[in-house]
Chains A and B, each alone.
Chain A
Amino acid sequence: MQRITIDPITRLEGHGKIEIFLNEEGDVANTYFQIPELRGFERFCVGRPVEEMPLLTNRICGVCPEAHHMAAAKAADAVYHVDPPRTAKLLRELLYSAFYVTDHTTHFYALGGPDFVMGPDAPVAQRNILGVIHKVGLEIAGKVIQARKYGHTVVEMIGGRKVHPCTSIPGGLTKGITNEQREEIEKMGHWAIEFAQFSIKLFNDIVLGNRQYVDLILSDIYTHHTYSIGTVDESNKVNFYDGKVSVVSPEGERIGKYAANEYTDWIAERVEPWTYLKFPYLKKVGWKGLVDGKESGVYFATPLSRLNAADGMATPLAQEEYEKFYSTLGGKPVHQRLATHWARLIELLYAAERWVELATDPEITSDNYHKAPTETPTEGVGIVEAPRGTLTHHYKTDSRGVLTEVNLIVGTTNNYAPISMSVKKAAQSLIHKGTVVTEGMLNMVEMAFRAYDPCFGCATHSLPGQMPLQVTIWDADGNPVEVLKQHC
C-alpha cells in the first residue's frame, strides 16, 4: 500500500505527524494524525497540595497558563467547598478577559489571519504577519503589539506575573487591585474595544468583501457536521469564566447543559494505541469512530462551537456582530470550520467589552478578595473556556487537601477527533488516482488545522500556529518518489 507521511512537527521536530495511506486505486484509504508526546501531569500532581494546582498546571501550557490557572483555582474552590467573594470572581474574570484579548489577537494577526488577508494562494513568504503588515499598513503592527502588551499588563497586575500567574488560591486571590490600577485597566479596556472593532472591520473589508474568500469559507472541504459545546451563563450567553456547558446537536438542538461536577455524565475519552493523545466524545451519544453526524459522539470546542452552543453574546456590540454572523452564513449552527476565524473576532470584541464592564464594577477594588476555606476538602471540578476549547480540571484529595486523583480534559484535546477528521477530509478531497500532489495541497491541509487554533502546548505542548508539513509519497515498494515541504 502507498503511504504519504505528513510531518506537521510544530514547525520543526515532532509534536504531530500525519500518515496517509493510499489504496490500490491511488485514493486515500485512511489517515492517522499522531500526537507523539505525554508529560504525565495527571500522575505527578498526585501527592501535591491542591492549592499548588493553579501553579503546577500553569506549566501545562505557557501559551494559555491563565486558563489552567483559572480552572485549577475553581476546582480547588470546589474541593474546599468554598465560594470565593464576589470581588475575587470579578478579578479572576477580568484577568481572564484581558488574556482572551491578547490570545485571540495573536491568533488572528500572526497565525490564522494571514491566509485571508494575504489569500490562501499567496506566496508562502508573504503569508505571515509581516505580509499582513505590508498589505494593511505599518500602524497595524503597533496596534497588535499594543494589544498583546495591554493584555499582559492586566494579567500581571492581577496575577502577579506576565507568564504563569500566581495569585489565585482556594477561596479567591492573594491580593486585590488599587483604584489607580483599576483606572489604568479601564483605560486599556476601552482601547481594546476599539481595537476589536477595528479588527472586525478589517475582516469585513478584506474577507467578507471578497466573493472568493466567502466561497472558500463555505466550501465543503472545510465543513463537518458535529456537535458543538461551549460554556454559557444563566441567559445562555457565551461566558469564558463560569456557567454551564451547553451541548448542541449538529442540527442546532440543545440536548442539554451540564455543570462542572456533571462532566463525567457527558464526556468520555477513548484511547487509541497509535497516539499519546486521547479522543474525547459525547458519552450519551457514543463513540462511532471519526465520523460526522448526529449518531456520532464527536464534538468540537472552539470559538465557533461556543457561538453555536449559545443563544448570543452578553455584551451589546458583540451581540450585533453575532447576529450578523449567523444572518450572513445562513443561520445556526454554522459548521464551516473556516468561519471560526470570524467567530474568534466576535469573541475578541466580547472579551474587550467584558473587560471594561468588570473594570467598572464598584466592587472590583474591594479588599474582600479572599475567604479562607473552613470545610474539609474532598473532591471538586473546575471548568473554564480556554480559547481553544472547554477546559476541565477534576481533583480528589485526602482530608488534608493533598491530591489523590487528578483528571484533566484540556482545550485542544477536545478537538482531536474533529481535527483528525478535517485532515482526512482534506486529504481525501485532494488526493486521487492520477493527481499530482502540489504545495497547494499542503496549505489546504494546514488551513484545516489552523481554524481550530490547535495548541498542542496544551495537548502536548507546542505553540499554535502554522504547522510545518512534509509530505513524502512512497511507491508500493516503499521508495520515496517525491518530497514536498512547507514550513519545515
Chain B
Amino acid sequence: MTTNGKPKFAMYWAAACGGCEIAVLNIHEKILDVDANFEVVFWPVAMDAKYKDVEAMPDKSILLTLFNGGIRNSEHEKLAHLLRAKSQILVAFGSCACEGCIPGLANFSAPEQIFDAAYNSLSTVNPDGIRPQFTYDAPEGEIHIPVFYPVLKTLDQVVPVDYYMPGCPPESHQIAAVIDLVIKVLHGEATLPAAGAVIGAGASTVCDDCKRVRNEKKIKRFLRIQDLDHLDPVLCLLEQGVPCNGPATRQGCGALCPTAGAQCIGCYGPAEGVVDYGARLITSFASVIDSNEPNEIERILDGIPDPAGQFYRFNLAGSLLRAGKSAWKGNGSA
C-alpha cells in the first residue's frame, strides 16, 4: 500500500451502535487536523476500509487505533486481536469497549434466553422453533455466521488496552482535546499519559460539573422521573428523590442530562478510584436516605424498581460481577 510517511491512524467498531463514529464526525473541522497529521489507514465510516491491507501490515505499524464496541461474537474477537497486533496504541473508545455499555446488560441472561426473546417474539411466526445456526448446511453448500458468545466482554477482557476513553458516546469536545494532545506528542510538545490511564474525561464526578443547587441531601422517597408534572428546574435531582447516578459517575460530559432535566444514567463509567461502580452508587444512595427505621428504609429502597439496572446499567460487563448467574451457567471461559 502507499504511504505518505505520516503516522497511521485507525478506528474500528465491534458490538456498538455507531454513535461513537457520529461523535467523531461531530468534531467537524478538527477532522482536518487528523488528516493533516495522520495517514488514516482504516476507518470504515469515513473512508474505504482496507481490511486486507491491515492484515498485510507489519505488527505495530499503526500508531493509534480507536476501538469502539464490545466483544459479542467470534468476529469481534478476531478483529480485536488483529488490531492489537498492528497497533502501538490501542484505545478502548466509548462505553461499550471500556465497560460493555447497554449491550452488556445482556450478561444478566443466558444466550438461550436472548435467542428465545428474539426468535419467539410477539410478532414472530416460528412454529418450528428455528434458531440461527453458526454453521448451516444450505442445499447449495455450507454457510456460516459468527459464533455468539455466552457473555459480552469488554475490549480489555480480550486483549491488553493502553488507554480508556469513556462516554456513550465520548463528547466531541473531549475527542477534539485528545486529538490535540496526540498531535502535540507527535511534535514533541507533550508526553503521553501513563499507560492504562483514562483519557478524555475528568477524575471527579458528574456532580462536580452539575450546576444544579445542592443542599444537604435527605430523601424520604425515590421518585420516578415521570411521577411529577414538573420537577424543580434548579434543585439537585437526587435531592428531589430522582435516582440520579451523578455521584458515582466520572465527569466528562459537562452534566448534560441533569442540565436537561433528566437524571444521569452513568454513561461515563466509574469516577477515578472507584473499583466497582454499582457498589459506590449504592453507598451514595444509602447515605441520602433520611431514616433509621429498617421498615421505612426498605420502603424507600423499593422506590428503585430495578436495582440491577440502576447500579450496573452501563458497566455490568466491566464490573466485578461481569455477568448474572444465568449467563455464567455452563460457561467456564467467560
Contacts and interface: CB of A to CB of B under 8 A. Distances in A.
B149 to A, nearest CB: 11
A34 B146 CA distance: 10
Interface string B95-137: 0000001110110110001111111011111100011110010
Nearest to B135: A274
A98 interface: no
A263 interface: yes
Contact of A40 (B21, B103, B125, B133): B103
Contact of B148 (A38, A161, A465): A38
B260 A161 contact: yes
Interface string A253-293: 00000000001100111111111101010010001000000
Interface in A6-54: 9-14, 19, 21, 29-30, 32, 34, 36-49, 51-52
A21 B141 contact: yes
B19 A65 contact: yes
Interface string B34-53: 00000000101100111110
Contacts of B122: 264, 394, 405, 407
Interface residues of A, number: 99
Given A160-B259, A166-B257, A461 B18 contact: yes
A462 interface: yes
Given A162-B26, A162-B172, A274-B145, A49 B106 contact: no
Interface in A31-85: 32, 34, 36-49, 51-52, 55-56, 58-63, 65, 80
Number of chain B interface residues as a range: 35 or more
A167 B261 contact: yes
B262 A166 contact: yes
B255 to A, nearest CB: 10
Interface stretch (B58-66, B227-235, B283-291): B227-235
Given A3-B141, A62-B169, A274-B143, A167 B119 contact: no
A48 B109 CA distance: 13
B225 interface: yes
A211 interface: no
Interface stretch (B182-190, B199-207, B269-277, B301-309): B301-309
A254 B20 CA distance: 41
A453 B133 CA distance: 27
B217 interface: no
A485 interface: yes
A175 interface: yes
A332 interface: no
Given A19-B143, A164-B168, A271-B119, A372 B228 contact: yes
Contacts of A243: none
B334 to A, nearest CB: 15
Interface string B64-103: 0000000011010011000000000000000000000111
B138 interface: yes
A411 interface: no
A29 B140 CA distance: 8
A375 to B, nearest CB: 12
A463 interface: yes
A462 B44 contact: yes
Q: Specify which of A42, A159, A163, A466 lies most central, judged by the most chain B CB atoms within 10 Å of its CB.
A: A163
A47 B48 CA distance: 41
B320 interface: no
Contacts of A40: 103, 106, 109, 114, 117-118
Interface stretch (B9-17, B156-164, B292-300): B9-17
Contact of B309 (A48, A461, A468): A48
Contact of B114 (A10, A44, A149, A171): A44
Interface string A360-394: 00000001001111000000000000000000001
Q: Specify which of A128, A271, A409 lies most central, judged by the most chain B CB atoms within 10 Å of its CB.
A: A271
Given A164-B169, A488-B52, A268 B18 contact: no
Nearest to A392: B123
B226 A171 contact: yes
A11 B22 contact: no
B141 A36 contact: no
B224 interface: yes
A80 B226 contact: yes
Contact of A270 (B21, B125, B230): B125
A278 B119 contact: yes
A104 interface: no
Given A161-B256, A402-B306, A485 B52 contact: yes
Contacts of A407: 121-123
Given A44-B106, A80-B226, A271-B126, A61 B138 contact: no
B49 A174 contact: no
Contacts of B230: 367, 370
A455 to B, nearest CB: 8
B257 A161 contact: yes
Interface string A445-488: 00000000000010001110110100000000000000001011
B23 interface: yes
A243 to B, nearest CB: 20
A14 to B, nearest CB: 5
A273 B225 contact: no
B124 A12 contact: no
Contacts of B121: 42, 269, 407
B281 interface: no
A53 to B, nearest CB: 11
Given A39-B72, A42-B118, A407-B123, A166 B256 contact: yes
Contacts of A287: 125
Contact of B18 (A30, A37, A401, A463): A463
B248 interface: no
Contacts of B139: 30
A128 B46 CA distance: 10
A1 interface: yes
Contacts of A166: 256-257, 260, 262, 265
Interface in B216-274: 224-231, 233, 256-257, 259-262, 265, 267
Given A44-B105, A48-B306, A269 B21 contact: no
A406 B260 contact: no
Contact of B226 (A32, A51, A149): A51
Contacts of B25: 148
A364 B128 CA distance: 51
Q: Specify which of A40, A60, A367, A373 lies most central, judged by the most chain B CB atoms within 10 Å of its CB.
A: A40
A35 to B, nearest CB: 8
16 contacts: A11-B45, A11-B48, A46-B117, A49-B224, A52-B306, A55-B265, A59-B19, A163-B22, A268-B124, A273-B133, A274-B138, A402-B306, A461-B15, A462-B13, A468-B44, A488-B51
Q: Which 10 residue pairs spanning A and B have beta carbons closest together?
A: A62-B19, A160-B260, A174-B261, A12-B49, A21-B140, A43-B117, A11-B44, A40-B114, A62-B17, A11-B49
Interface of A: 1, 3, 9-14, 19, 21, 29-30, 32, 34, 36-49, 51-52, 55-56, 58-63, 65, 80, 124, 128, 145, 148-149, 152, 159-164, 166-167, 169-171, 173-175, 263-264, 267-276, 278, 280, 283, 287, 367, 370-373, 394, 400-402, 405-407, 409, 457, 461-463, 465-466, 468, 485, 487-488
